[in-house]
Amino acid sequence: MTSDIHCVSSALASIKGIDYLSCDSLSSKETLALLELASQLKRGERRIDLGNRILGLIFNKASTRTRVSFQVAIARLGGQTVDLNPKISQLGRGEEIKDTARVLSRFCDVLAIRTYGQDEIDEYAHWASIPVINALTDLEHPCQALADFLTLQEAFGKDLTGLTLAYVGDGNNVAHSLMICGALLGVNVYIATPKGFEPNQNILFKANNLASSYGAKIQVFNDPFEAVRGANALYTDVWASMGQENEQKLRSQAFSGFCLDQKLLNEADKKAIVLHCLPAHREEEITTEVLEGNASRIFDQAENRLHVQQSLLAATLGGL
Ligand code: CP
Ligand code: NVA
């Protein structure tokens, strides 16, 4: 065990001080080491005390899991959170990101930011002198993907190469991060969306490039049955993400046939697991039967947000 701990710590040394803006901010090796540390922390094999480090949270969008799991994660590392709620800070009155980022770098040790455009978080990272973590943008949700692949490891073992994860629904931020992180870990990621809701082409290009280096396949389908056939994990997310609420009705029509139900699950591998990042809309993108069924690992997946983010904070703050 001591040598495991030593290996993980040395593999994570390169992460100290980095920004985690996209799943490809980490290499394949670093991602695996981060998951290993998360699993050690979860099993209680490892305790890390970083001293009194301060995590600043800037959330321009609602959150339950990400906000709470980050707060608990830094508390378990001996640190504290400052919640920089944009509604009661000068951010809400239009103070520029470049000024906010430089000022907060004088008070905090790390920032976790949930916002709309990826360009906003990139700008924070450019101006901040402390690590910036993407807590969800319209383009990516990389912390979620870390928790998702830890959940896959718990179900299928540490080596995920050759497994297939099929995502059914909107080609959104969650799908994008699954494609990139899956490619890094050698997992085939099949995405089934209605026509017009496919993933971003640049992300697809990036994921395909990575996948070719790690022997994985990233494929986009418009037929959910084709995507899920024989898959080891089925995944879905809401059809209208935060900020798209006015499209809810239009999307409900466009996505008919893309509900993750028992019929789709029957097409997957017999031992397939079901994942959803939550929050879920029951009987829309997933049936209650599947969400609450035996194949569901959805609440383990939610718990794993805590462990991967604790691991990420410890590594970026360099406390290993
Ligand atoms: N899955 C997820 O990010 O949940 P929250 O929006 O509640 O943080
Ligand atoms: N795709 C969803 C994920 C929520 C965790 C959204 O962006 O709202």
Q: Percent of the chain having pLDDT more than 90?
A: 94
Q: Which of 235, 183, 199, 167 has its CA nearest to residue 23?
A: 183
Q: Could you tell me the distance, in angstroms and rounded to a whole number, from the CA of residue 68 to the centre of ligand 1?
A: 9
Ligand 2 pocket test, candidate residues 144, 174, 278, 284, most atoms within 8 A of CB = 174
Give the residue, by CA position, lying nearest to ligand 1 atom 7. 64
* Angstrom distance (rounded) from CA 131 to CA 153: 27
- Ligand 2 binding pocket includes 237 (Cβ within 6 Å): yes
Residue 3 has pLDDT above 80, yes or no: no
**Annotation says 237 is catalytic:** yes
Any idea of the CA torsion for 175, 180, 182, 187, to the nearest 10 degrees?
110
For 139, residues 6+ apart whose C-beta sits below 8 A from its C-beta are 22, 117, 118, 173, 176, 200, 203
Tell me: the pLDDT tens digits for 132-188? Answer: 999 999 999 999 999 999 999 999 999 999 999 999 999 999 999 999 999 999 999
Q: Which residue stretches of the chain are H helix? A: 2-12, 28-43, 65-76, 97-107, 118-127, 142-156, 173-184, 201-214, 224-228, 248-254, 262-267, 288-291, 298-317
* Angstrom distance (rounded) from CA 233 to CA 269: 8
**Annotation says 141 is catalytic:** yes
Residue 124 has pLDDT above 90, yes or no: yes
Residues of the chain with CATH 3.40.50.1370: 2-140+306-316, 142-301
Fold of 142-301: Rossmann fold (3.40.50)
Mean pLDDT for all residues in the chain: 97
- Residue 86, pLDDT score: 86
Q: Could you tell me the two tokens for 164?
A: 């297939």
For 295, residues 6+ apart whose C-beta sits below 8 A from its C-beta are 234, 265, 272, 273, 274
Write out the DSSP string of 13-82: GGGTT--B-SGGGS-HHHHHHHHHHHHHHHHTS------S-EEEEEESS--SHHHHHHHHHHHHTT-EEE
Which CATH number does 2-140+306-316 carry?
Answer: 3.40.50.1370
- Residue 1, pLDDT score: 62
